[in-house]
């Protein structure tokens, strides 16, 4: 199960307590370690720059320990005299020196609120300004997973500063972070997604984020909670990738890729649902006929209908557009065809030619009457919920059938229709509920939902409906 990272908090890339870079909330008084005078900072700086290898490692570890314990210590040590020798240790061939320097810089970069909201980025900006970024990018390409995890956590922390984002986006870090999505540790993958999300508002990411990141992102999205912050970040990146021209086939190479996106539309937060429907819409627009069938096979219609009512403004627009693309190409129907449609529905409600004819006549009369009463001069949406009971057979019993010609989707309100999905009648006999929504449409449209019922109650998950 994917973790839910918080880009504003310091990550914990190593389970070893001695390597945990997060600040200690309850330091031992003997380890509280706030520098009592500038001389202590100068002493650490001297050992970092002029000491032998062992002395430099020990001084770096001391910086980490003090920075973990106190925000004032982080502020005191985030000066060039300390940061420059720490940065110089990053390319060291000695693993202990690299790790000590990384952990020291990572803890110095932790957000702090000593003076103002703006001050929380000062240390991050100082570290990047002094030149740590090129060394960190080089280390991102390491074959050592533990080292890459630590470096990813450092880049994540630095990417929280708005002024650092352009530099990181153009440094060559994005392809390396995408590679970690495929071959890194779980924590490394989580931190890589969060870092890429932090950079997603940079123009360069749409060019440098490789399309190969689609499969690992879909895998991570499949395994995480769809309403989590992590899902929002993963779907935001997938939406960027879905706009790549001519390379969207990678979305279908992952067996459950489309299903994962449909589930996110249904179960995700407002943002993740918005991003997920954006991905599906981009795929449908890029290669409509191919992706239309693949999307319809996963039963997205109920989730899209609900999103078109309850989603964000952008999500509602996207859901309407996708519903239009998923429909069969509109064509004009003759009066005889429309009469046959109503008769077919009536025959399922009241079996037998005599009863069916009477029912269809009653339905048509009721439609015309309600149309004249509610919206004089305008056609209406007619939503009919038909419960066929346990005798319904077929490969996918729960169906949502959309019959009729085109309509202006942004004017359709299906709230009343959705409220009647659960019939109030008792028994398993067929039932018919009729609801109308008075909106200006291009022409009359039938919306028919067919679902098995038990004792008059719908007994199927509404996600399983599909569009015919």
Q: Phi, psi at residue 333, to the nearest 5°?
A: -105, 140
Domains 1-180 and 210-326 belong to one CATH topology: yes
* Confidence band, pLDDT 50/70/90 cuts, at residue 307: very high
Tell me the fold of 1-180.
1.25.10
* Alpha helix positions (H), 112-248: 122-130, 132-140, 145-159, 165-169, 173-183, 186-198, 205-208, 214-223, 229-242
Could you identify the residue written with the tokens 């004249």? 372
Contact 125, 163 (CB under 8 A): yes
Instruction: Please list, in sequence order, all residues whose beta carbon lies within 8 angstroms of the beta carbon of residue 114, skipping any fewer than 6 positions away.
Output: 71, 72, 75
Q: Tell me yes or no: is domain 210-326 CATH 1.10.260.40.
A: no
Contact 69, 23 (CB under 8 A): yes
* Confidence band, pLDDT 50/70/90 cuts, at residue 337: low
Residue 100 has pLDDT above 90, yes or no: yes
* Rounded average pLDDT over 160-188: 94
**Which range is most confident: 80-84, 207-211, 292-296, 381-385?**
80-84
Write down the domain spans for the chain: 1-180, 210-326, 335-464
Return the H-helix or E-strand segment holding 403: strand 399-404
Q: Cα separation of 21 and 68, whole Å?
A: 7
What is the per-residue pLDDT across 104-162, written as a single tens digit (0 to 9) for each? Answer: 999 999 876 655 666 789 999 999 999 999 999 999 999 899 999 999 999 999 999 99
What mean pLDDT value characterizes the chain? 73
Q: Is 453 helix (H, G, I), strand (E, B) or coil?
A: strand
What is the per-residue pLDDT across 288-304, written as a single tens digit (0 to 9) for each? Answer: 678 888 899 898 999 99
> Considering the chain, what percentage of its residues have pLDDT values greater than 70?
60
Give, in order, the Cα–Cα distances in Å from 192 to each of 66, 136, 156, 167, 349. 27, 14, 7, 17, 56
Distance of CA 384 to the CA centre of its chain: 34
Instruction: Please list, in sequence order, all residues whose beta carbon lies within 8 angstroms of the beta carbon of residue 71, skipping any fewer than 6 positions away.
Output: 23, 110, 112, 113, 114
Q: Quick one: pLDDT at residue 415?
A: 36
Could you identify the residue written with the tokens 């314990």? 69
């Amino acid at each position: 199960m994917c973790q839910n990272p918080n880009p504003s908090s310091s990550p914990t890339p190593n389970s070893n307590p001695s390597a945990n870079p997060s600040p200690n909330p309850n330091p031992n008084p003997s380890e509280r370690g706030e520098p009592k005078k500038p001389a202590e900072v100068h002493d650490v700086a001297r050992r970092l720059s002029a000491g032998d290898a062992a002395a430099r490692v020990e001084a770096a570890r001391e910086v980490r320990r003090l920075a973990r314990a106190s925000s004032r210590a982080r502020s005191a040590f985030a000066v060039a005299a300390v940061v420059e020798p720490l940065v110089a240790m990053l390319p060291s061939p000695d693993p202990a020196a690299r790790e000590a320097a990384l952990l020291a810089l990572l803890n110095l970069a932790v957000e702090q609120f000593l003076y103002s909201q703006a001050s929380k980025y000062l240390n991050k900006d100082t570290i990047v300004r002094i030149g740590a970024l090129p060394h960190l990018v080089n280390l991102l390409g390491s074959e050592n997973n533990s080292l890459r995890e630590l470096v990813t956590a450092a880049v994540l922390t630095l990417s929280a500063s708005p002024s650092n984002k352009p530099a990181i986006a153009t440094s060559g870090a994005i392809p390396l972070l995408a590679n970690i999505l495929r071959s890194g540790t779980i924590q490394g993958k989580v931190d890589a997604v969060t870092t890429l999300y932090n950079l997603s508002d940079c123009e360069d990411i749409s060019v440098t984020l490789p399309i190969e990141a689609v499969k690992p992102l879909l895998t991570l999205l499949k395994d995480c909670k769809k309403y989590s912050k992590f899902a929002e970040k993963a779907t935001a990146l997938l939406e960027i990738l879905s706009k790549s021209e001519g390379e969207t086939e990678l979305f279908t190479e992952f067996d459950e890729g489309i299903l994962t996106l449909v589930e996110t539309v249904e179960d995700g937060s407002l943002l993740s649902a918005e991003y997920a429907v954006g991905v599906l819409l981009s795929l449908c627009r890029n290669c409509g006929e191919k992706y239309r069938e693949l999307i319809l096979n996963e039963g997205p219609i109920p989730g899209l209908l609900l999103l078109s009512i309850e989603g964000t403004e952008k999500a509602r627009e996207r859901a309407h557009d996708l519903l239009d693309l998923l429909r069969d190409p509109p064509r004009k129907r003759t009066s005889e065809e429309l009469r046959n449609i109503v008769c077919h529905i009536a025959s399922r409600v009241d079996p037998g030619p005599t009863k069916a004819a009477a029912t269809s006549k009653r339905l048509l009369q009721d439609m015309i009457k309600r149309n004249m009463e509610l919206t004089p001069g305008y056609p209406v949406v007619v939503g009919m919920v038909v419960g066929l009971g346990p005798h319904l057979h077929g490969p996918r019993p729960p169906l949502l059938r959309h019959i009729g010609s085109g309509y202006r989707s942004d004017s359709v309100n299906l709230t009343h229709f959705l409220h009647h999905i659960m019939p109030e009648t008792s028994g398993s006999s067929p039932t018919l509920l009729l609801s109308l929504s008075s909106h200006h449409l291009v022409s009359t449209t039938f919306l028919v939902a067919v679902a098995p019922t038990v004792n008059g109650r719908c007994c199927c998950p509404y996600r399983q409906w599909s569009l015919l």
